Amino acid sequence: MIKGYREAWPKFSRNSRLFLISATLAGFSYSGIYFLLANLFLVRLGYEEEFIGLFVAMGALSFAVSSLPAGMVGRRWGSRQAMTFGYGVLACGLALVSLAPLFAEPWRARWLIASCVLREFGNAFYMVNANPFLMESTTAQERGHVFSSRGAVVPLAGFVGSLAGGILPSLMAGWTGRSTDDPMIYLLPLLLGGVLLLPGLVALSLARAPCMEEPAIPPVALPAEGSEQLPRCRLLRPQPTERPVVAIATMALVGCLYICAMAASMSFFNLYMDRDLDVPTARIGTIIAMGQLLAAPVALATAGLARRIGYGAVFGWSAAGVVVCAIPMGLFPYWWAAGAGAIGITVLSALAFPAITVYQQELVDPDWRPIMSGIYMMSLALSWSIMASAGGYLIKIEGYRFLFLLGAALSAVGVAVFAIYATRRSRRLAIVKESP
């Protein structure tokens, strides 16, 4: 596996390398520091699960509402410009959340919601347009390695960020003489998360508008120098292998159901560990960091597995594994069971995400890829929003573990829907291939 990446690395385009820099910094700041500390920060501010669920849900709803417009803007003005804009807004949103202790109620709650909405508005433009940007910046030869690298650097950077996030509040408490229950000690670590994205913004601004990708069918001869024909970088596009509307609708349904287990468990995992199981912040950070550390080599295996069994099979099996990992979180009221489940979900999601990204992007013609990406991301965010908003109330009524099991059941339905679709599509392609 390592040899394959050493051979593929020189083939990575300049755009791909610059993107990986931005993804690494986002992993450290957003997936690491922010993901660990945000909910604990809200608890220290005196908020209960209902508000925290609303906070998470409003962010996810903002992402959902912004995803389709983000795809349309990327299709009209270019994925690079839309992605870079979104990354800058994401950095601002992360930094602004940290300033909430400076406000009194009711402005504090409004500030938190507004900064969360702004953050996910930017994140939608970044994430939705990242997929077509990478598709356009890669060829079939190195595409699997680029997407796998993206799936590896984010959790690996998140591992370092989670460790830092688990230690920083204690260090701040020691330096300032405040208690670790004081929300003010979270201000600097969360602010740091936003500031650290600025070098990633510079990296994306240095990227160039990508040319059309190479097609799956042989290209025609390139026009001669000085010709008035198409630009030299633009080759023939492959014919779409699926009707766009059918493919997009199916992937939206799959994404909406598949993400439920992760949304239910990871939205409230740190609260469950902190409030129900009385686990120290440092240990919570270590557990999350371990999942992200293990996710890195697993994500790197995506390219090799996809060559053997295909991106669809990689996603199907890893998504089923996410369901299995969510079950012990709901069945056993012990920190080790919750920790093992969270680690498993993090690891297998790192395998599932790049696999389904390439799979759904290759279903449609390049012109439809921003729309496919936007609607797919919208479905994920809508589902996450519903699980988070309803989850805060379900926790009060039924408890955390009921919510974890509900998420696992809904994800199992999503895996079944995908398996049926992928199997039927494979059969249709086989029939077409055998036809004279």
Residue 415 banded pLDDT, cuts 50, 70, 90: very high
Is the separation of the CB atoms in 356 and 38 below 8 Å?
no
Per-residue pLDDT at 40 = 81
Contacts of residue 327, Cβ cutoff 8 Å, sequence gap at least 6: 341, 405, 408
Per-residue pLDDT at 56 = 81
Per-residue pLDDT of 342-380, as tens digits, reads: 999 989 988 898 889 889 888 888 778 888 888 888 898
The one-character DSSP state at 223 is P
In the structure encoding, which two tokens stand for residue 411, read together? 């994800």
- Number of Cβ within 10 Å of residue 222's Cβ equals 14
* Of the ranges 40-49, 269-278, 403-412, the best mean pLDDT one: 403-412
Residue 14 Cα to chain centre, angstroms: 22
Percent of the chain with pLDDT over 70: 88
Residue 84 Cα to chain centre, angstroms: 16
Per-residue pLDDT at 435 = 57
Q: What distance in Å separates the CA atoms of residue 213 and residue 204, rounded to the nearest whole number?
A: 19
- Residue 272, CA distances (Å) to 170, 335, 339, 404, 415 in order: 20, 9, 11, 11, 26
pTM over 0.85, yes/no: no
The one-character DSSP state at 219 is P
Per-residue pLDDT at 59 = 86
Per-residue pLDDT of 147-203, as tens digits, reads: 878 877 888 888 888 778 778 777 877 787 777 677 777 788 888 888 889 999 999
Q: Of the candidates 11, 35, 32, which has an alpha carbon nearest to the alpha carbon of residue 23?
A: 32
Return the half-sphere exposure (C-beta side, CA atoms, 13 A cut-off) of residue 213. 24
Going along the chain from its start, the domains and CATH numbers come out as: 7-208+238-434 (1.20.1250.20)
* Average pLDDT value for residue range 227-249: 55
Per-residue pLDDT at 242 = 58
Lowest mean pLDDT among 56-60, 147-151, 329-333: 147-151
Per-residue pLDDT of 94-149, as tens digits, reads: 889 888 888 888 898 999 999 989 999 999 999 889 888 888 887 777 777 888 78
pLDDT at 430 over 80: no
**CA dihedral defined by 22, 317, 383, 254, rounded to 10 degrees?**
110
Full 3-state SS string of 110-127? HHHHHHHHHHHHHHHHHH
Per-residue pLDDT at 319 = 94
Return the half-sphere exposure (C-beta side, CA atoms, 13 A cut-off) of residue 170. 10
